[in-house]
Structure 1
Amino acid sequence: MILVYIYAFIVGACVASFINVVIDRLPKGISISKGRSRCDECKTQLKWYDLIPIVSWVLLRGRCRYCGAKIGWRTPLIEIMGGCIGLICLHAFYFDIVTPFVFVCYMILLAITFIDIDTMTIPDELVIALGIMGILSIFVADVPLIEKVIGFFCVSLPMLGLCYIKDGAFGGGDIKLTAVLGFLLGYKLMLIGIFIAIVLAGIWAIFLLATHNIKLQEHMAFGPFICFGAFISSLYGWQLLLLYLSFFNLHL
């Protein structure tokens, strides 16, 4: 079994290596299928042995083989995160048909997270990709269609309404993301996910304000918190809901 988990980590890291390309190219409007990666400094096309996830970065000590330019730590970090996502999917869903489906969804969320951190935008291409996964989920998940439809509106519609009350309260990408995630998860898990997102975003905002890294009127990327909330909710949402209800002696 340990070999299966190792394989899952390797697959996850390799896919995350591609996600690194998506994160770098998509905001720039560069085709993600346009040739092998190049060094940002010397523009040398990298060889296959320069692109082995995690391993190449370690062996090269975080520097370009050809010009010595520093390669950021985030590159192997995302690959490690991808490997961990592979492990989580295998551990949570085993060899079920839903496992690769959930894995792809998590990888899309990973790309959205870092693109939003970098650019404060969420590409429509990734929202559409997640929307396609939402449609496919009708056939692979056991969430009733009516719950998916309610999920589409239960968070996105209030967010849209708040934007009319206060201009710029949320970005358009955030609203579209919550809509497709709501359809993907259903309204119950979506509400849990957005609750997690709001709590974590509030804690992070307080920290930034306390450390003077952000001003009161400034915006921060909310997409990463939405993605993380959806990630946790999809894995442990029902357990969290049952735990919450148990405090009040309530039942589903």
Structure 2
Amino acid sequence: MEKILIIFYVYAFLIGICIASFINVVIWRVPQGLSVAKGRSYCPNCHHTLAWYDLFPIFSYLLLKGKCRYCGVKIPMRDTIIEFLGGGVAIFCFHRYQFTWDTLIIFSVIMIFLAITMIDFDTMTIPNGLIIALVVPAVLMTILHPEITLLERGIGFFIVSLPMYLLTLMIPDCFGGGDIKLLAVSGFMIGWKGILLGAFIGVLTCGCYASWLLITKKTQKGAHIAFGPYLCFGIVVSLMYSEFIIHTYLSMFGLK
């Protein structure tokens, strides 16, 4: 049985790095308005069309020693790190959820969040297409997890996103529209308790990072930073561990 599981872990890793390789295409093309379904991959420097043997996730990077086969320019290591991350996430999801639909759905959610995170870091925007893509696993979660009622999901849709929207009307540009949409769809996916926890973790993480930037004088007061990546982190933590975190927190005060 253990040997069979090892095979499944390897298979999960290989699937994960392939999906993450596609996520790299999304991260590169979507901000430029390019199709992710059409057109061959090419080197951004020399624009030479890449052959199929240049596109194996991770392995091609290692075999080419991190350089383009055609012009010799270094290939960004970030793409390979993202591929490794995709493989690691796939293994983690399979280990946690085993042979259930949750493995596929939560892996898909994390991959969409990964694309949102990197694009937001690069461009300070969250594409609407990725928010729409998030609707699919959100709807599937309502079927797989009826323990979170539609009422709780409906409240989750508005409980954080609506106050943020109203605050943006009063103080223009204090939050991005993509952040608000992200919280709305995610709130429907994990319910009001989960989105409150996820938003709190996101705000706390972002606040710590912003404080570090100010202390080290790597940014100035009033400067904008991408908020979406920290929201994605908080939502993923809440998606997988909200029950444990909430139960542990309430137990500290003798509440259950």
Match of 1:115 among 115, 119, 138: 119
**Mapped pair 1:213 → 2:218:** yes
Using the TM superposition, give the Cα deviation of residue 165 of structure 1 relative to its aligned residue in structure 2, in angstroms. 2.8
In the alignment, what sits opposite 2:255?
A: 250
Match of 2:197 among 192, 198, 207: 192
1:90-239 alignment runs, 5 A limit: 90-142=94-146, 143-239=148-244
Which blocks of at least 5 consecutive residues in structure 1 are unaligned?
none
**Mapped pair 1:12 → 2:16:** yes
Using the TM superposition, give the Cα deviation of residue 235 of structure 1 relative to its aligned residue in structure 2, in angstroms. 1.3
The DSSP-based 3-state class of the residue aligned with 1:82 is helix
Instruction: Give the counterpart letter for 2:197 in structure 1.
Output: I
The DSSP-based 3-state class of the residue aligned with 1:168 is coil
Structure 1 Cα separation of the partners of residues 130 and 145 of structure 2 = 21
CA RMSD of aligned residues (A): 1.0
TM-score scaled to structure 2, two decimals? 0.95
- Structure 1 residue runs of 4 or more that deviate by more than 3 Å after TM superposition: none
- After superposition, give the CA deviation of every residue in 1:78-114 in whole Å (9 maximum; x if it has no partner): 1011111101210121101222122111111111010
- After superposition, give the CA deviation of every residue in 1:118-144 in whole Å (9 maximum; x if it has no partner): 000000000011123222222122321
Instruction: Give the counterpart letter for 1:183 in structure 2.
Output: F
Structure 2 Cα separation of the partners of residues 247 and 205 of structure 1 = 29
- Conservation of the 8 A alpha-carbon contact between 1:92 and 1:235: no
In the alignment, what sits opposite 1:26?
A: 30
Structure 2 Cα separation of the partners of residues 225 and 50 of structure 1 = 33
**Mapped pair 1:39 → 2:35:** no
In the alignment, what sits opposite 2:69?
A: 65
Moved more, 231-240 or 23-32: 231-240
Match of 1:81 among 77, 80, 85: 85
Aligned length: 251
The DSSP-based 3-state class of the residue aligned with 2:213 is helix
Using the TM superposition, give the Cα deviation of residue 244 of structure 1 relative to its aligned residue in structure 2, in angstroms. 0.7
Moved more, 52-61 or 12-21: 52-61
Structure 2 Cα separation of the partners of residues 137 and 234 of structure 1 = 11
Structure 1 Cα separation of the partners of residues 149 and 224 of structure 2 = 36
Structure 2 Cα separation of the partners of residues 17 and 36 of structure 1 = 14
- Conservation of the 8 A alpha-carbon contact between 1:20 and 1:75: yes
- After superposition, give the CA deviation of every residue in 1:230-251 in whole Å (9 maximum; x if it has no partner): 1111111111111111110100
The DSSP-based 3-state class of the residue aligned with 1:186 is helix
**Mapped pair 1:2 → 2:6:** yes
Structure 2 Cα separation of the partners of residues 62 and 20 of structure 1 = 16
Using the TM superposition, give the Cα deviation of residue 61 of structure 1 relative to its aligned residue in structure 2, in angstroms. 1.6
Structure 2 Cα separation of the partners of residues 235 and 6 of structure 1 = 23
- Conservation of the 8 A alpha-carbon contact between 1:98 and 1:141: no
- Conservation of the 8 A alpha-carbon contact between 1:54 and 1:80: yes
The DSSP-based 3-state class of the residue aligned with 2:164 is helix
